[in-house]
Structures are given as structure tokens and as C-alpha cells.
Structure 1
Amino acid sequence: MKHLKLKYLTFLITFSFAIGSCTSTRTALFDSYSYQKTTELKVESSKLMDQATMPYNTHKAEIESLLLNIEKLAEYEKNKPSNEITLAMWEILTDKEKNLLAAFFKCWETKGVLSPAFVGESKKQILDAFDLMIQYEIKKDKESKDALLDLINNN
């Protein structure tokens, strides 16, 4: 009887550690909605950035619509548990004082028209940021997390 109790106690301790280690990772699980929306927003951003060699005012409504959709997704991400990294990345993308998407649109608005070279360089950086978010959402592994954290910390 003591042998059975010892096995049961060992099982409970092992099970408790397993459950505890799962909750300590503190990373949100894969979310197909986040993945789908992030991918859509990447494509929309890319297409809109291509238009920056034309006057800003002709695309103002599209830009506002895109930024509103990003704001909606950021709000969704904000309310997911253990999702601080993804939320921080959305905040950087939408910060007009950083060097990513919202800052690109602010620059376009200020200058009216952007050069193809500037658009190309900016687009590469912004789409790379989207790719890091997409890879992190898909994999949720240490490598994709570290890459995203590196970008967050450098902005």
C-alpha cells in the first residue's frame, strides 16, 4: 500500500511540475485570426507604400482605413493573455515617432510625395518587421521570439 501511495505522490509531483512549467513560458498560443489579419495587413501596407511616389492626399482615406484596421488588431492583441511581445511590436509599428509604418505615413504626409529609393528602403524594413511578427505567431519558438525582441529593443 505504501508503494502505491509513493507512486501516486511521485505522479502528482511530476504532473504539477509539468503544468507549472507550461504556465511559466508566458507566451500566447498560436492564433489563426492574428496570423490571418497580420498577413492581410502586411499585403495592404505593401500595396499602399508602393503608392507613396504619388501625392499623399490621393491616398489619405486608404491610409486612415489601414491604420484603423491595425488599431483594431492591436486592441485584439492587447486583450490576449501572455501577449506582451506581439502587442509591443504593434505599438512600435503604429508609433509615428519610430521608424516603421506610422512614421512612414507621417513622412509621406509631410513631404507630399516620396522618392522611389526611400519607399524601397522603408518598405523593406517595414515588411521585414511584419515577417518577424508572422513568424513569431506561427512558431512561438525561442528563435522567432528573440528576433522580434531584438527589433523591439532596437526601436
Structure 2
Amino acid sequence: MKTLKIKIALFAIVVLTSCQAIKTAVFDQYSYQKTTELKVETIILIENATSPYENHKEIVEKLLLDIEKLKEYEKNKPNNEITFAMWTVLSDKEKNLVGSFFKLWKEKQKLSPTFVEESKKQIEEAFDLLIQYEIKKDKTSKDNLLAIISQ
């Protein structure tokens, strides 16, 4: 009888844990709005990376701070691990997206037009995937984000 109770308890834990793992945060208008704003601001700044970083330093720092603020917001929403993880990847200075782009620009002071265009495409696509995930919260948009996160 004791073994049966333990098995039932373990089964209940597995079921509850499984249900918890598949929960996804609901659509959040604020997250959607801020993500689209940050995408536009980021793309505009990237387009300026062929000119000296020092001319844009304050705007870059403000943008990176705004990204950190939204990342903190996303971190504290329930069932929002995927969106938070994507913001972490976007802002990471070693992951070849927003954080690393601005780090490189700062180090090199100017970037080539070809590099800027290629980086812009990648970063724009990453933002678009994040925006689509916020809108749809479906398996396809989730899988697309997970592919970037796991790289």
C-alpha cells in the first residue's frame, strides 16, 4: 500500500511538472510594443555603424540600457523563459547579435558597409522571430526561437 501511494505521488508530480513545463506566457501588448520599438531603434543605429562609434555612443548606450530594462521585465513574467532567453541571446556580447555588434563597433570605431548589411539582416530576423513569437505563441514560432537560443 505504501508503494502504491509513492507511485501515485510520483505520477502526480510528473503530471504537474509536465503541465507546468508546457505553459507559455500569454500575449503581452507592452512586450510587443517595446520589442518593435527596440527593433526599429536598433536597425537605425546599425545603419550608422559605418560612421565613427563616438558619434553615436550615447544613443547606443541608451539603447543597450533599454534592452536590459525589457530583459528584466521579461525575466519576471511567469512562464516566459523562452522570451527571456531570447533577450539574453540578443544582448549577449558574444552571440553575434545586438550586444556583440555594438561591442565590435565600439572596438573598431567603424564597420564596413558589407558587414553592417549582413549583421542588420541577421539581427532584424532575430527581432522578427521574437515579435512573431509574442504575437502567435505557437509551436512554429517557439521552435524558431529555440533554434537561435540553442546556437
Query: TM-score band (shorter)?
Result: 0.7 to 0.9
Q: 2:36 aligns with which of 30, 39, 43?
A: 39
Q: 2:61 aligns with which of 54, 64, 78?
A: 64
Report the TM-score, using the length of structure 2 for normalisation: 0.86
Structure 2: distance between partners of 1:70 and 1:24: 26
Question: Which runs of at least 4 in structure 1 moved beyond 4 Å after TM superposition?
Answer: 20-24
1:96 aligns with 2:96: no
> Counterpart of 2:102 in structure 1: which amino acid?
F
Report the TM-score, using the length of structure 1 for normalisation: 0.84
Q: Structure 2 vs 1, CA of residues 24 and 87 (structure 1 numbering), >3 Å: closer, same or farther?
A: closer
Q: Which deviations, in whole Å up to 9, do the C-alpha atoms of 1:6-50 show, x marking residues without a partner?
A: xxxxxxxxxxxxxx7975531100000000000000000000000
> Counterpart of 2:74 in structure 1: which amino acid?
E
Q: Which deviations, in whole Å up to 9, do the C-alpha atoms of 1:48-89 show, x marking residues without a partner?
A: 000000000000000000000000000000000010000011
- How far is 1:145 from its partner? 0.2
3-state SS, counterpart of residue 110 of structure 2? coil
Unaligned runs of 5+ in 1: 1-19
- How far is 1:97 from its partner? 1.1
Structure 2: distance between partners of 1:129 and 1:24: 24
- How far is 1:143 from its partner? 0.4
1:4-153 maps to which residues of 2 (within 5 A)? 25-153=22-150
- Count of residues paired in the alignment: 135
3-state SS, counterpart of residue 52 of structure 1? coil
Structure with the greater alpha carbon radius of gyration: 1
> Counterpart of 2:30 in structure 1: which amino acid?
Y
Unaligned runs of 5+ in 2: 1-15
